[in-house]
Structure 1
């Protein structure tokens, strides 16, 4: 059985990262597609077979486990126990010469038992190879209010499109998308068919929007929870009070217990991020602000306090 060096076919090192493999595949596939003047049907099929394996984490791992025998070329033999280990993927005895019924080589079919979709076209028995377009991922900036309530956004993204010269150029693409209520940092929204065009009439890839939450002047995000610093005067903290506290879902009235200390953490349940039934909480962090002693009267007042309320917060030092 002829061994196929998929790394050599794509022109990448065996240690290549996933992004480098994808980049090499795109360039070669665009150059050798049969529908193009520079196309080479045999080469195109070979390129797609290589990417079918190296572009898939599990298949690549299995392929790499062929071990040191990969350099044996035409005399390739799988390592002992390989067929028993991966027999569910077709074994090594099912294909004899030529391309398998799937359109891939007998080497691929015997390893994976897979198939590459073919459809007739152009008459005279010519085969048009169809492949789904590449998925794309872009980040979309979303405010905290939009994340909580949902919003419709108009976006213009730069989409890589294949050129007739075999390369890629970035072209603007305008979209109207609905950001659902309850999204969080890193949430992914799938837009089916909005990715790169397929080859040979194959379906378009998908576009994934990755939510990137915008910084807010009042709130900070901690997972599903929202944090708010709440300034209080010394007398409000000492005597207790009721204050209006802003949240992403409107203001709420909060009781501040008498004797509240700076750094205390109070909870408002269900006012964080996420879907309504599983939303996080808002935590209010108390910060006691002391008025400045900028006048003689203010200084006298503080001196009177020191005399009337002797208090040493460092007594435990």
Structure 2
């Protein structure tokens, strides 16, 4: 796997904000919903998400920058180690590879101190021994209800070992986002693997997502748009009252502020309510009224279209 920074199009030393910005840009371009028949884009999306998950974890990023773990998050072998080496433990046949010379007053402790970053040996990698591998990661797919994703309600997840945890959804959550639960994978001699949870937001029967906004087509009566009214409107967190201005037309969109999805950058999207005038069929009284409504029958609402 390529260097995690280059996977996100960044250089080492990038700030947390740069990492988040690069991930959001690439995730939008490569998201499976936009590339349903593009296997390469799907693969790149997984790589980008994995890189972001590791680099956004401060502890793991520090380990990666120090060379203690690889691009998969697994511990690296000690400096100069080569599998199959002789007892010397450093690449090549016995007696070859790294060679140390000690002058008068030389101290083994100093050599080992330099090699292991000030005397702190890498966890699970004693000098001259093969590092113990951590347990395997375990993948999960979690479907989240539309309203709960918008409101960031915690999700209860049951792991393969029977353990149940409450997963906190992050702002900006989208379908395809992978969340890493450190140490919740399979057990291994070098430590536990991680649980990788891919989020899938379930579609809703009348709400539609538009970026961080939520859209809703709202049926209204003719008298409600002509005379104006207060009507009850469903939102992702329960019904609220909406004022329909008098003289509104079918297709007019009204805004309920901060009733949408939570943004990754802070704040929240809105709910956009589009009025859809619902005219009942077979209503004799309405038909009689319209036949006598001379001013309306003589008006051409399509004049602006040139017809």
3-state DSSP class of the match of 2:292? Answer: helix
**Offset from partner CA, 1:68-93 (integer Å, 9 cap, x none):** xxxxxxxxxxxxxxxxxxxxxx9xxx
CA contact (8 A) 2:157 2:167 kept: no
RMSD: 4.2
Work out whether 1:153 is the aligned partner of 2:156. Answer: yes
Judging changes above 3 Å, is the alpha-carbon distance between structure 1 residues 146 and 131 closer, same or farther for their aligned structure 2 residues?
A: same
Give me the TM-score of the superposition, normalised by structure 2. Answer: 0.54
- TM-aligned CA deviation for residue 212 of structure 1: 1.2
Measured in 1, the distance between the counterparts of 2:256 and 2:89 equals 61
Name the one with the larger strand percent.
1
- Give 1:1-317 correspondences, 5 Å limit: 99=85, 105=91, 118-119=125-126, 127=129, 129-147=131-149, 148-155=151-158, 172-180=160-168, 183=171, 184-186=173-175, 187-198=177-188, 201-274=189-262, 278-292=267-281, 294-306=282-294, 310-315=298-303, 316-317=306-307
3-state DSSP class of the match of 1:291? Answer: coil
- TM-aligned CA deviation for residue 141 of structure 1: 0.7
- TM-aligned CA deviation for residue 289 of structure 1: 1.5
- TM-aligned CA deviation for residue 182 of structure 1: 5.4
- TM-aligned CA deviation for residue 305 of structure 1: 2.6
CA contact (8 A) 1:144 1:213 kept: yes
Aligned length: 205
Judging changes above 3 Å, is the alpha-carbon distance between structure 1 residues 185 and 249 closer, same or farther for their aligned structure 2 residues?
A: same
Give me the TM-score of the superposition, normalised by structure 1. Answer: 0.52
Measured in 1, the distance between the counterparts of 2:185 and 2:90 equals 26
**Offset from partner CA, 1:196-240 (integer Å, 9 cap, x none):** 333xx1112111222211122231112221111111122222222
Q: Which moved more, 1:247-256 or 1:264-273?
A: 247-256
In structure 1, the gaps of 5 or more residues are: 1-16, 20-51, 57-89, 157-171
